Structure 1
Amino acid sequence: MGSKNVQLVLDAKAILGEGPCWNEDQKALYWVDILGEKFCRFYPETGQNESFLIGEYVGAVVCAGNDEVVLATQSGFQSYHMGQRTLTPLVDPEAHLPANRFNDGKCDGQGRFWAGTMEIIEKEAAGSLYVLETDYSYRKVYEGVGVSNGIAWSLDEKEMYYIDSMKKLVLAFDFDAEKGEISRSRTLIDFAGEQGFPDGMTIDEEGMLWIAHWDGWQVSRWDPRSGIKLESIEVPAAKATSCIFGGEGLDTLYITTARKGLETDQAGNQPHAGGIFAVKPGVKGTKTHAFGASYTTKKKE
């Protein structure tokens, strides 16, 4: 495969572009530059990209109402009001672990925010996976994580998929959507034979997983039932970090990338590393869920 036409849509030159999520109402792509200590809101139709500097590592962003987001940062979960540019700390599950930071995260269909941590220097498997409930209480649901990364749920919400980049594994859990609980962890895909490390992940409307390869120059599509790789799309940056479906009818796959560790002399063969790319893979995606807004309760006013 790999012949699909991947286009640069934003030459962001992010140090560590990550964690994209699509806001259907705003037709906007939210994403973070973790090491740039900011999150951004990008409008593909106009090419406009707004930056919101937070002043500490921002691992993930999820929408929470019209002008608000919830962030998973180095110092825990925080709420941010974009109009007022105000940051409000919510809860820090790892206040006692200053050497850790939050990394990737995502909301489930009930509006809970799942996000995991990692050691900043990436030596020990000192991270954990947490759930921020819509009332701002939290639970630790899994531990012994190296680099907590991509999360996705099966279309019937009976399984959750989860990536530990350090261990090069994509795990599957049984998922109880009502209680927001996971059980029976098992290895779904072992990336040992793949190029690079599994990083961010999303799921399409056919229930197939799309995984970004850190240091692998690609995003790949997998069947979670068989664990088989179905196809791969080449990305003109070595460090593809994550992907999410957006655009008209969710037919566009947006891909975030990183420049981290790229020496100036290496930038020649990937001048747009750290940019956001887009491709129409021929399959549609699933919607991004917002924090606190479940299927059942959120009605268009």
Structure 2
Amino acid sequence: MTGQIELVMDAKAALGEGPHWDPVEGKLNWVDIDGKELRVYDPHTGSEEIYSFDKKVGAAVPADGGGWILVLQDGIYRFKINEPLELLALVEAELPGNRLNDAKCDSRGRLWFGSMNMKNKGRAGSLYVMEPDGGVRKVLSGIGISNGLAWNDSLGLMYYIDTLTFAVDVMDYSVQDGSVSGRRTAVQFAEGEGWPDGMTIDSEGMLWVAHWAGGCVSRWNPHTGEQIGRIEVPAHYVTSCTFGGENLDELYITTARGGMSPEELERWPLAGGLFRVKPGVKGMKGNFSSC
């Protein structure tokens, strides 16, 4: 864990989130939720392509056959460059105070995504999964802020973060049918460490968790609940992380700057940037959406 963290894009994102590495294109997809943008970073050129929408963008996952599956504020959409958005499913239309948030796909191409109240009131959120045939089912309810997702297929485990619990939970998970059961705590955040936000898993089965209002990404052994590593990030609101690069040995980290005071921005001028570090371990290949 000795790699030097570097700023790769001074994006000044209001709410940078949801990084996904596309190994086919060799690019990093991430979003600015409040900026209503999908951003595609090319490490070979150091440049970005930015696509803007009229709704908050909770996540963007590369899709089989090209383009992306977008998790927008009110539903799931298919997006291809120079083509109109295609609505796949409206979600929680009966809850206008909610929006959809973080999302990832499992190894079978199912899209897992969650929701949250936009004013962080109560536990009105849920966790959903969209099957490759387009069907959507609710998996969990009573969620505060649905966030990080990760899987360990070899052990039949799924990891999940509801930020308001200050914990990472684990569930028994069936690769075959996508069912989960036995939700329990795997990692508990200590007071003063910030809030657990986005998450990824490495090739050793260890979890990497972004600390909202904690200025770091931490590494955890989910089998013992022990913190085994930490990377300081020059931003207060660290939102998510994922492994990328040709060898999946680079950890990309997203951050946010929305709502920060002038004093906070002076202290963390790089807030909202996209960062990268080589932590000395490799990640797992990300999954494309089959929806």
Calculate the TM-score normalised by the size of structure 2: 0.97
Separation in structure 2 between the aligned mates of residue 69 and residue 86 of structure 1, nearest angstrom: 12
Residues 91-170 of structure 1: pairs in structure 2 closer than 5 A = 91-156=89-154, 158-170=156-168
In structure 2, the partner of 1:35 is 34
In structure 1, the partner of 2:240 is 242
Residues 70-85 of structure 1: pairs in structure 2 closer than 5 A = 70-82=69-81, 84-85=82-83
Runs of 5+ in structure 1 lacking a partner? 294-301
In structure 2, the partner of 1:50 is 49
Give 1:166 shift. 1.4
CA shift digits 1:30-49 (9 cap, x unpaired): 00100001111111111111
Residues 217-296 of structure 1: pairs in structure 2 closer than 5 A = 217-292=215-290
Asked if 2 retains the 8 angstrom alpha-carbon contact of 1:155 and 1:205, the reply is no
Asked if 2 retains the 8 angstrom alpha-carbon contact of 1:11 and 1:276, the reply is yes
Separation in structure 2 between the aligned mates of residue 225 and residue 208 of structure 1, nearest angstrom: 9
Separation in structure 2 between the aligned mates of residue 85 and residue 37 of structure 1, nearest angstrom: 18
Of 264-273 and 195-204, more deviation after overlay is shown by 264-273
Aligned residues: 291
Give 1:287 shift. 0.6
Separation in structure 2 between the aligned mates of residue 104 and residue 168 of structure 1, nearest angstrom: 16
Question: Is 1:204–2:202 an aligned residue pair?
Answer: yes
Give 1:4 shift. 3.5
Separation in structure 2 between the aligned mates of residue 155 and residue 109 of structure 1, nearest angstrom: 8
Separation in structure 1 between the aligned mates of residue 166 and residue 244 of structure 2, nearest angstrom: 27
Counterpart residue type for residue 29 of structure 1: L
Runs of 5+ in structure 2 lacking a partner? none
Moved runs in structure 1, 4+ residues, more than 3 A?
A: none
Task: For residue 265 of structure 2, give the secondary structure of its aligned residue in structure 1.
Answer: helix
Asked if 1 retains the 8 angstrom alpha-carbon contact of 2:60 and 2:69, the reply is yes
Asked if 2 retains the 8 angstrom alpha-carbon contact of 1:4 and 1:233, the reply is no
Separation in structure 1 between the aligned mates of residue 193 and residue 182 of structure 2, nearest angstrom: 28
Q: Check 1:85–1:262 CA distance in 2 against 1; reply closer, same or farther (3 A cut).
A: farther
Asked if 1 retains the 8 angstrom alpha-carbon contact of 2:16 and 2:256, the reply is yes
Give 1:73 shift. 1.2
Asked if 1 retains the 8 angstrom alpha-carbon contact of 2:3 and 2:280, the reply is no
Give 1:23 shift. 0.2
Calculate the TM-score normalised by the size of structure 1: 0.94
Asked if 1 retains the 8 angstrom alpha-carbon contact of 2:153 and 2:175, the reply is no
- Sequence identity (%): 48
Task: For residue 236 of structure 2, give the secondary structure of its aligned residue in structure 1.
Answer: coil
Separation in structure 2 between the aligned mates of residue 183 and residue 248 of structure 1, nearest angstrom: 35
Counterpart residue type for residue 56 of structure 1: K
CA shift digits 1:127-180 (9 cap, x unpaired): 000001111111101111000000000141500000011121211100011001
CA RMSD of aligned residues (A): 1.3
Counterpart residue type for residue 43 of structure 1: D
Asked if 1 retains the 8 angstrom alpha-carbon contact of 2:62 and 2:289, the reply is yes
In structure 1, the partner of 2:184 is 186
Separation in structure 2 between the aligned mates of residue 183 and residue 204 of structure 1, nearest angstrom: 23
Of 256-265 and 95-104, more deviation after overlay is shown by 256-265
Q: Check 1:171–1:194 CA distance in 2 against 1; reply closer, same or farther (3 A cut).
A: farther
